Structure 1
Amino acid sequence: MRRTLIPASQRNNESLLKRLRVRQGVISLINDSINDPEMRTADETIVAVLHVLNSEVMGCDDRSMRIHQVGLHEMIRERGGLDRLGVGGQLAGILTITNYLIGAVREMQPHPDYVSFASKQDTSIPSDTSRLPESPIYCRPQGFQKIAEVLSSRDETYELLDTLRRLTNRFYLEKVFAALPAWEKDFTDMSERYTYEAIRLAALIYAYALLHKIPFSKAAAEVRNSKSFYLPDSGITPMPILINKALMRTDTSHCWDHLAGVLFWVVLVACAAVNPGPLANEERDGEDEDARKWLSAIAVRCCIVLSFEHGHAVMETLKRIVAIEAVLGRSSSDSANHNDDETATETMKNLLRKEKDADPTAFGPQRPPPVQRGFADFAQELMNI
């Protein structure tokens, strides 16, 4: 994310090389565990691959992401399924959340095993007054409660969010499309101004997709090419980049605090909008790819931070966004998305074998004997990367 702030012409490869060396060391250690009959499908090994998978989501390396997804699934099946994993069921939950996150940002259906596990979890919205990560697709039937505590009902941002909430259940398209841009509003705080603008831009994509029943990625292009909406420039800057630029002017250090659920919704829509397609595997660069990586990093961070306290709410949010995407005309079917499982599994094995000979001492001490730890320990390690 810091690298994105540096113009492409001024970036050096030192940090990239460091990341590649660390990644090579991690893959080598994972390979050692996979070759150990006692560790091959242990929770620690699965968590290690899960860490790598999350890094691939943030790095938008679609090919490697697919390989590790398939590899993880093979390990889980060998273990006996998600229900047989440890850490009090939390490992199965975060694996399901991660695969739903990938499905949401890639506009693809998660594997049926994760869909089946998610369907068995009680992720219904509680009726009490407990704090929830509210968003346009996740809140109590009567409307926002916690957001209403931090935003006045007459606040421009609140009105837009409430319209989006109603839009999810009914069509209030005109009010979304007619929402004036931030520069036409009387905001005294710059972070508040760009928070509103990021929500408004995501709202345009979301509402347009629902109206025309098309994927977010297609809706983003059509909104950008249309002359009917208030957009920040008269050029051809893609919508996800506009959202990215707006978000970079807000304080995301604490995931928007009480609006964390809203930020999660914004980046899910934006990530899907910049999705290059489920079969894309070529190298990409430029401003659109920088934006895609930055947005993906925010999505992963929101997912992890919110899951500590609101794991069921995160899973329900992702279930809903994936279900919405399914209605929006996604063409690839479950079987089509997974017909390359065998090839991807073999590719992962070859990748691990290729990196087996790397010198593990160059990346720190050897792995200590396994110690049983909780999910919070594993997740905290990922947050500290």
Structure 2
Amino acid sequence: MEADQPPAPLPPVAAQPDPPAARSSSSPDAEQNPAKKPPRKRKRKPRPPPSQPGLRWLNSTDPSQFRDDRVRKAVRSHVMYDHAARKKSLTTVHQDQFTVVHLYKDSQNPKPPSSAHHHPNVPEKSLVPTQVPVDPGSTTVPGQHSWDKEDENHLALTLLDRLASHLDPLGQLPGFAAPKQNVRELQKFCVEYFATTIYRVAPIENSNIFLAGMCMASSRLDVLRGLPRESAITAAVKLEAVRLLNQSLSDPQVQLNDETIMILTRLLHSEVIHGNFAVLEVHKQGMERIVQLRGGFQRLFHDSPAARWLCNAIVHVVYQACIHTEQQPSQIFLDWVPPTYDLSVPPEEREPAKPMYLPDRVWTFIVKDYRCSKYTAELLHDLREATGLFLTHYSDKGAAATNHPSPGKTDPKSLHVRSYLMQQIGSKPSAEDPDSPVFGDWYYESVRILSHIYATSIYHMVPFSVAAILAKEALLPERPSISVPERLKLAIEKTHPEPDLCWGPLMTRVLLWITVVGGAAANPFASEVADHDVRAEINPGLETARRYLISLGLRSTIVLACQSPYSPAYVLELLRRVIVVQGLFTTEKSAPESTSWKAPYQRNT
């Protein structure tokens, strides 16, 4: 064999020059070489999705601008984004729900859900709770989760917040046929005004009851604005309530049901504030007729659970309508005596019924209230004792509401009681006196002003409206331009920046008594001047005070009647007592013997 020869050497490879560096597109060589591609243009970022899906607002001064290319492109992109967002939301709803349940029940190592990219605004921590570290000494099984309560509720709260963030519950509220008032504003104020469950649950179930309740809120808003007469908005709302009432009465199937009674009760409520006495009389007669056709209060009370408080609501508003017009209610309303206690109260907690204006148990709590000073408690005690003696004296004589005692006949015992009350009230100091111990106590001052009206009415045996004129000589000798009801209104407003709070849960009974008697006192010669517009024109300050006191009294009635199962009977007992006291006075409003006495509703000639 031939010896192995070494392999032939490879030919040398020529060194290749380095590739030329890429020249910038701006060089003159690139511009002269047409074979090279031009530089790429930067792409614009996609437009963000529309903030209001389904809506695109276009403003222009010339209709031809709508055919512009920019406008057309914007509209097309908006439609595509909106369509994609809706399609995505429809396809991912069920995936989100099942993925969330799977995280809590089966997964030991939770991972972000596959549908999380559909909701970029929600952080992953809100969808996937963090793994709780396991203590080596703990007896917890490794396959189980010991989530904290806050961690368990965090996901649910986050999902609910996402679902309800774009909802508008008030957008589905029924509206008026004449859209002159925002229903949302009235409903919000109505809830704040009444603040009770009874007046909030029923309107939700029935649109007619809901809309009829708006007239109460609108009347109250007129009072807070200081209007001596109702506004055009309130008149429109009341006309709508009257239309709904006529619609219910024309239907034989619903003309006697609870819905019709609720609508009429709310309409009567607003008319009491307004003070149109002719309309009030029509509504009272209609209410009496409906109750009679329903079989009376005893049968209506046992018809349904809702009818139990409906009976109290009817009697409450009818009593106040009669008090403020200084009339006596029909016998069917006087004969209604509700049960003192609710059926849910255990028998061992029930107390025997007491005919006093303020039962001992309630009186004890009122005295302990911080708003009731010892001077206010003494004043209330004198009024309570004198009223009890006054009514006991005439009840022993057998005087009924129809048999009015004659003021001309002097009864020594009755005169002694009336003189004692007048002397006790007249000796009380004023809260405006800097030297008195009650200086600045406007709760006391409100009770003192009302006590003068009450004592003067009992002493002279005249209605509250006439007594307010007589009490002006003792209360306001240096301020003849302001009436006693106006002074009472100012004192109540000074008790709290928001007197709608009704002086708290304990003093509400006192405020109710003040506003009921004060509203009647601000209504002199209502039978002679029945036109409310004439009264507002002659004396706007007195008419404003009357509307303020009546509306606050109606609110106190509703709030107090819903505080506890004991309250409805107490409220009716208070109103009934005021009606009995009014019934003992003479119905003839003759001018008493006073040189400065003058009806405030008489024009100056």
Same fold (TM over 0.5): yes
> For 2:500, what is the secondary structure of its paired residue?
coil
Give 2:445's aligned residue. Answer: 197
| Contact 2:379 2:448 (C-alpha < 8 Å) held by counterparts | yes
Give 1:116's aligned residue. Answer: 335
Structure with more relative contact order (C-alpha pairs < 8 Å, separation 6 or more): 1
* 1:76 maps onto 2:263 in alignment: no
Give 2:20's aligned residue. Answer: none
Q: Taking every aligned residue pair, what percent have the same amino acid on both sides? A: 26
From 532, 556, 573, the equivalent of 1:302 is 556
Give 1:381's aligned residue. Answer: none
Give 2:579's aligned residue. Answer: 322
Structure 1 residues 26 and 156: CA distance shift in structure 2, 3 A = same
| Contact 1:100 1:319 (C-alpha < 8 Å) held by counterparts | yes
TM superposition shift of 1:104: 1.9
Q: Which is greater in Rg?
A: 2
| Contact 1:216 1:273 (C-alpha < 8 Å) held by counterparts | yes
TM-score normalised by the chain length of structure 1:
0.73
Question: What are the superposed Cα offsets for residues 130-185 of structure 1, whole Å, 9 maximum, x if unpaired?
Answer: 99xxxxx7223699301121259972222222222222234342121111111123
Structure 1 residues 106 and 70: CA distance shift in structure 2, 3 A = same
Give 1:234's aligned residue. Answer: 479
Q: Distance in 1 between the 2:484 and 2:461 partners?
A: 18
Aligned length: 316
> For 2:548, what is the secondary structure of its paired residue?
helix
Q: Distance in 1 between the 2:477 and 2:451 partners?
A: 15
Q: Is there any run of 5+ residues in structure 1 with no aligned partner, and where?
A: 132-136, 333-385
Question: What are the superposed Cα offsets for residues 192-236 of structure 1, whole Å, 9 maximum, x if unpaired?
Answer: x22211110100011111122221111111111x3xx24384324
Could you tell me which amino acid in structure 1 is paired with residue 503 of structure 2?
W
| Contact 2:226 2:544 (C-alpha < 8 Å) held by counterparts | no
Give 1:105's aligned residue. Answer: 324
Could you tell me which amino acid in structure 1 is paired with residue 318 of structure 2?
N
* 1:175 maps onto 2:390 in alignment: no
From 527, 530, 537, the equivalent of 1:281 is 530
> For 2:542, what is the secondary structure of its paired residue?
helix
Give 2:502's aligned residue. Answer: 255
Q: Distance in 2 between the 1:26 and 1:255 partners?
A: 28
Q: Distance in 1 between the 2:349 and 2:437 partners?
A: 32
Q: Distance in 2 between the 1:7 and 1:76 partners?
A: 36
Structure 1 residues 27 and 129: CA distance shift in structure 2, 3 A = same
Give 2:383's aligned residue. Answer: 164
From 28, 34, 39, the equivalent of 2:249 is 34
Give 1:140's aligned residue. Answer: 359
Could you tell me which amino acid in structure 1 is paired with residue 252 of structure 2?
P
Q: Distance in 1 between the 2:263 and 2:366 partners?
A: 36
Q: CA RMSD in A?
A: 3.2
Q: Distance in 1 between the 2:373 and 2:487 partners?
A: 26
TM superposition shift of 1:93: 2.3
Give 1:346's aligned residue. Answer: none
Q: Distance in 1 between the 2:296 and 2:349 partners?
A: 35
Q: Distance in 2 between the 1:36 and 1:307 partners?
A: 32
TM-score normalised by the chain length of structure 2:
0.48
From 560, 570, 578, the equivalent of 1:313 is 570
Structure 1 residues 143 and 68: CA distance shift in structure 2, 3 A = closer
TM superposition shift of 1:6: 5.3
Could you tell me which amino acid in structure 2 is paired with residue 83 of structure 1?
Q
Give 1:359's aligned residue. Answer: none
TM superposition shift of 1:115: 1.0
Q: Distance in 2 between the 1:153 and 1:267 partners?
A: 17
Could you tell me which amino acid in structure 2 is paired with residue 148 of structure 1?
V
Question: What are the superposed Cα offsets for residues 318-344 of structure 1, whole Å, 9 maximum, x if unpaired?
Answer: 111111111122359xxxxxxxxxxxx
Could you tell me which amino acid in structure 2 is paired with residue 25 of structure 1?
E
| Contact 2:442 2:491 (C-alpha < 8 Å) held by counterparts | yes
Question: What are the superposed Cα offsets for residues 63-94 of structure 1, whole Å, 9 maximum, x if unpaired?
Answer: 22222111222222223322332424322222
Structure 1 residues 264 and 216: CA distance shift in structure 2, 3 A = same
